[in-house]
Chain A
Amino acid sequence: MSKAKKINLTLKVWRQKDQNEIGRFETHPVKGISTDMSFLEMLDHLNQQIIHAGGDPIAFDSDCREGICGSCSTTINGNPHGPDRETATCQLHMRRFEDGQTIVVEPFRARAFPVIRDISVDRSALDRIIAAGGFVSVSTGNAQDANAIPISKESSDLAFDAAACIGCGACVAACKNASAMLFTSAKISQLALLPQGAVEKDRRARNMVAQMDREKFGNCTNTGACEAACPKGITLENMARMNRQFTSAWLTARVR
């Protein structure tokens, strides 16, 4: 049987009507939260409470609710995706919190992520980085026989680890410089480490970094906040790889 307890919390939630409004915190006592609820279920529960009282529910993003889509984007007590490493907001459970605790809930903040409403932010800047080169531009046909193109276990593991990035933007939100380098480097690495993607790696590195800079993300200063905040455990190793590839691409390019 369920060992769930019920706890009561105080939530300080960021409310903002649209990009242009100056937002503010709104305080809500939330009663009877099952410790088995996920953080998003707790927000659903709070929204029910707000709707019953005739208020305006809190807007927040979610989709898969199992840590694979990258939609959820909540900064909890200053930490994007909450206190635990390698855990997305949707995978965070209320048993992690103490009865009577106050929790501050904010959006993923950055200049490049304008607030749409409340906790929901526009992360399409990340999509535009992908559109600048995060793909393989030739048709690679149907799925190959598993061993038609031999790939070392090491490369496939590294590529797979980089491909675990769900593009949630927690790295940007956690970074004091709002830098998107961890994201961009994961996408560059995931393709460059495999034979189909390696062909275009130079052009890709240059175009994706150029787009990232154009979106007005900050510059990395290696604090490592991104790696700590990443729900998928993307490492700084990817960023060093991106730096190497970008530099060698720039050194060897025939066209500027």
Chain B
Amino acid sequence: MTSRSGFFSSSVGKKYLMGVTGAGLSLFVLAHMLGNMLLFVSPEAYNLYGHTLIHSKFIYFFEAGLIVLFLLHIIYGVTLTLQNRAARGYRTYLTTSGDKAVTFSSKTMIWTGTIVGVFTIIHLLNFKFGAYYEIVYDGVTVRDLQRLMLELFMSPWYVAWYVFAMLTMLFHLWHGVQSAFQSLGFRHPRYTPGIIKFGAVFAWIVGLGFMSQPLYVYFFLN
């Protein structure tokens, strides 16, 4: 009998792991994008939403889950990429073209992923661990994230970088969402065309949603 390794060191297991963590992160970014939409409503709505989240009973549970998802996704994503480059071999390869070409987003997952990763770190430093302003609504003191946001999005460079990072995430999701279904074993002529469309729509909604926010703040709130 051939000796076998553990599930997560097998090529199929690694795909499952990327698929599950990728799908989890995709749901997170969708929720985050929708939550941020409150900045279009009012500073108060936005700040109270943040306040409710931070003081939820489940916040540590969700934060821990997100850290695990991110770390697994990054560690496996980078390991896979290194193993795959080694498997490709010694010489730069002429890539397929014409009728046999593949999508741009599928070839650039490690780069779009890395940009999103760097963005995430900067984003956490600037917002979660950024300046702490306070504001009082009806006697309740809450963190004034709206003010911090206005300050950060005053700079056109910051807005440009933010929009660029969200564009790269759009591409990451464009390939990633439908790819996660395939990794998890869903492919069928009946529903796969629908999944591919769903992935594209999902990526564009999340991407455009996130891009609209700094642009709105820069052009209409400052």
With the chains together, A9 CA to B132 CA distance in Å? 70
A143 to B194, CA, bound (A): 41
In residues 203-217 of chain A, which contact B (Cβ within 8 Å)? 206-207, 209-213, 216-217
Question: Which stretch, B52-60, B164-172, B177-185, touches the partner chain A?
Answer: B177-185
Which partner residue on chain A sits nearest B97 by CB separation?
A78
Residues in chain A near residue B11, CB distance under 8 A: 179, 181, 209, 212-213, 217, 219-220
Cβ of B128 under 8 Å from chain A: no
What does the 1/0 interface line of A142-171 toward B look like (CB < 8 Å)?
Answer: 000000000000000000000000000000
Q: Using a CB-CB cutoff of 8 Å, which residues 171-217 of chain A contact chain B?
A: 174, 176-179, 181, 206-207, 209-213, 216-217
Is A83 close to B, CB under 8 A? Answer: yes
Check: A250 CB closer than 8 A to any chain B CB: yes
Asked if A223 CB lies within 8 Å of chain B CBs, one says: yes
A79 to B94, CA, bound (A): 8
Q: Which residues from B are CB-within-8-Å of A217?
A: 11, 87
- A229 & B96 in contact (Cβ 8 Å cutoff): yes
Instruction: Name B22-67 residues within 8 Å CB distance of A.
Output: none
A246 at the interface (CB under 8 A from B): yes
Contact B183 A222 (CB under 8 A): yes
Docked CA distance A181–B187 (Å): 15
Cα distance, A52 to B1, chains bound together (Å): 53
Do B96 and A209 have beta carbons less than 8 Å apart? no
In the assembled complex, how far is the CB of residue B82 from the closest CB belonging to chain A, in whole angstroms? 10
- Is A36 engaged at the interface, CB distance under 8 Å to the other chain? no
Q: Which of A79, A179, A240 has a CB less than 8 Å from the CB of B182?
A: A240
Q: Cα distance A95–B182 when bound, in Å?
A: 37
Q: In the bound complex, do residue A221 and residue B80 qualify as a contact, i.e. CB atoms below 8 Å apart? A: yes
Residue of A nearest to B95 (CB): A78
Residue B101 interfacial (CB < 8 Å): yes
Instruction: Find chain A residues with CB under 8 A from B7 CB.
Output: 247, 250
Task: Tell which of A179, A181, A218, A229 has the most Cβ of chain B within 10 Å.
Answer: A218
Given contact pairs A79-B98, A79-B100, A210-B5, A246 touches B12 in the complex (Cβ within 8 A): yes
Query: Which residues in B have some Cβ–Cβ distance to A below 8 Å?
Result: 1-5, 7, 9-16, 80, 83-84, 86-91, 93-103, 106-107, 109, 175, 179, 182-189, 192
Query: Top 10 nearest A-B pairs by Cβ distance?
Result: A78-B94, A218-B87, A177-B84, A240-B187, A244-B185, A218-B84, A223-B106, A222-B179, A178-B87, A228-B100
13 pairs, CB–CB < 8 Å, chain A vs chain B: A84-B99, A176-B84, A176-B95, A178-B88, A209-B12, A210-B3, A211-B2, A218-B88, A219-B80, A224-B102, A237-B192, A239-B182, A240-B186
